[in-house]
Structure 1
């Protein structure tokens, strides 16, 4: 084999190794690490927690919690989506497709995901959809506790769900779903993605 050809092959192989792993591969590796009680590896595959790895280890110290989380990750892997500034890509069967949306549609989609997560008691998912200031003030566990203690929480979720049927006011920095009486569900744009900032 000629030196130039060998160099080209080596560069091609190196470039292939540097390619980021797809979302499905990462999700499966995370689920497997949880099942095997390899919490350092599992945590390394996350974006981290405010309480760091010790909080992650505490959360998944119980084998049942690890198994349930691994099962939920695998169940969701078929419906994965990847998001970035001005881009959403959804997994459809064995391929990825770009989602064409308008800003109002994106805001509605985020609010719907948030409300669905709260109703499903998926506090980690709901917390991840909060705005930066709210995420820094809460942890998923504290968010759950505050929600369950707040007597008007369910009513606010109901009104937010109804607001999805109405008009959305979109600006360059936020989206508002009017609730009447100068109240609104408000989402803000953070790094090109909507996050829930207020439910009243």
Structure 2
């Protein structure tokens, strides 16, 4: 008789716990936990099951809109993915809020419902995490995870303060930046202004402001 699937209550969520890759997969691939977000790095896993509120959703939408508008107006090739799992089998996995492939000649993931296999395609160029209760972890363990995955640039949005903290990665260093390196000319002061405007303006008004601002640059 087949063994029953593991029960989430046996593992503490929203924190890093030691686990074998096979145990992690039993959770990550369980369809009953489809609303969770899953991370794995060097023998530790993190399962995030906290509900996401309007604040998280609004900032997620604004960031996605801003990035796509900027790339469109600056003729930068881009492909965006939302809440997608990126897997380097037996080693690490992540499920960021937003991920973008930016530039020419990238090995893009196929259109299917499986986690993106990073042994076959390139890692995303830019990853964005929208942080509320997870801010400390996003700036620490996840930052290291994305650097190891080969991501070039990493943004963390502090939704409670409408602030953006961003890093550019090399294989050995993580350097905080105030202007995007993968979307040349995009200053993070504009990103933070868009986040502040979203508190009182609708998405259409913000998009029109962004288009006018980007066309001036």
TM (normalized to structure 1)? 0.28
Q: Which has the larger radius of gyration?
A: 1
TM-score (norm 2): 0.26
Whose strand fraction is larger, Structure 1's or Structure 2's?
2
